[in-house]
Structure 1
Amino acid sequence: MDLNDLYRDVIVDHNKSPRNFGDLTDADHSAQGFNPLCGDELTVYLNIKDDQITDVRFKGQGCAISIASASLMTEKLKGLSVEDTRQLFGKVHSMLTADAPDIPVDEMGKLAALQGVRAYPSRVKCASLCWHTVIAALDKRATPVSTE
């Protein structure tokens, strides 16, 4: 099995069985995000204690890339500090958009499965929606995030 097949399997798995999917009724941070181009809609919920993400969940509907990205994101963010989350956003954004991102694949873990999206510019917004939404949740923005 080559690396592209492995990445595809990760995306399919996280789309079919998204991790941390559903409401977080006691969330102290949340935000909504929309991708009008693809129709993706999601809400990200966070609990933060002592500047650390103690729980994260999401709900919504969207394409396979959008749901898989949100699922992978929630797995990675649990236990991270707010600052580390903001830094990770920058790395993911670079991985999705830069021609030659300088981020070691092993540093990204399963998130590296999303790097192939870079070859499909119209899908970058699908993969990045949850990341922009989590930043909006951290900033306690009331206005929904849009990829347009």
Structure 2
Amino acid sequence: MSFNNLDNLYRQVIMDHYKNPRNKGSLEDGSLIVDMNNPTCGDRIHLTMKVEDGKVTDAKFDGEGCSISMASASMMTQTIIGQDMDKALKLSHVFSDMIQGKDFEDEDMDLGDIEALQGVSKFPARIKCATLAWKAMEKGLNEQQ
């Protein structure tokens, strides 16, 4: 597949998550709640997660922001549901390295749709947009430990 076709496919995946977000909403009853924002561009996220026996059993988000920010939140919730807290945190570090254009280790992980955000590394001003939901997840899980 040529670079242009791959770039177009990634763009379609991002727009699909933006227009049809997965896990949009809020969880109730004792869930972890994290609110974060990116004051430089106005993105904001309200993340709720349910953790049982060290595993993320559910996650939902609400918020507003650019397509990168909201698509990333959708992808992040899809990726962490069912993961142990340690694996979810490791995924966040892998994502952070990927989004910054660094080498990243993913041999034991299925990154799924989040690989579509790899091109954001070419746009440094958008990195904070892409990482907002992931930083919120890290904050919530670290406070849980």
Cα distance in 1 for residues equivalent to 2:105 and 2:25 = 34
Equivalent in the alignment of 2:12: 9
> Under a length normalisation based on structure 2, what TM-score does the superposition of the two structures give?
0.90
Structure 1 residue 100 displacement after superposition: 4.1
Partner of 1:134: 137
The alpha-carbon distance between structure 1 residues 134 and 119, as it changes in their structure 2 partners (threshold 3 A), is same
- Tell me the SS of whatever aligns to 2:143: coil
Q: RCO higher in 1 or 2 (8 Å CA, sep ≥ 6)?
A: 1
Asked if the contact 1:27/1:45 (under 8 Å) is kept, the reply is no
Computed over aligned residues only, the root mean square deviation of the Cα atoms, in angstroms, reads: 1.7
- Measure, in 2, the Cα distance between the counterparts of 1:51 and 1:103: 22
**What corresponds to 1:66 in structure 2?**
69
Q: Is the 8 A contact 1:93 1:128 kept in 2?
A: yes
Give structure 2 stretches of 5+ with no counterpart.
none
Give deviations 1:73-123, integer Å, cap 9, x for gaps: 01111100000011001100000113444546x842111000000000000
Instruction: State the Cα distance separating 1:23 from its structure 2 match.
Output: 1.2
Q: What runs of 5+ residues in structure 1 fail to find an aligned partner?
A: 142-148
Give the number of equivalent residue pairs: 140
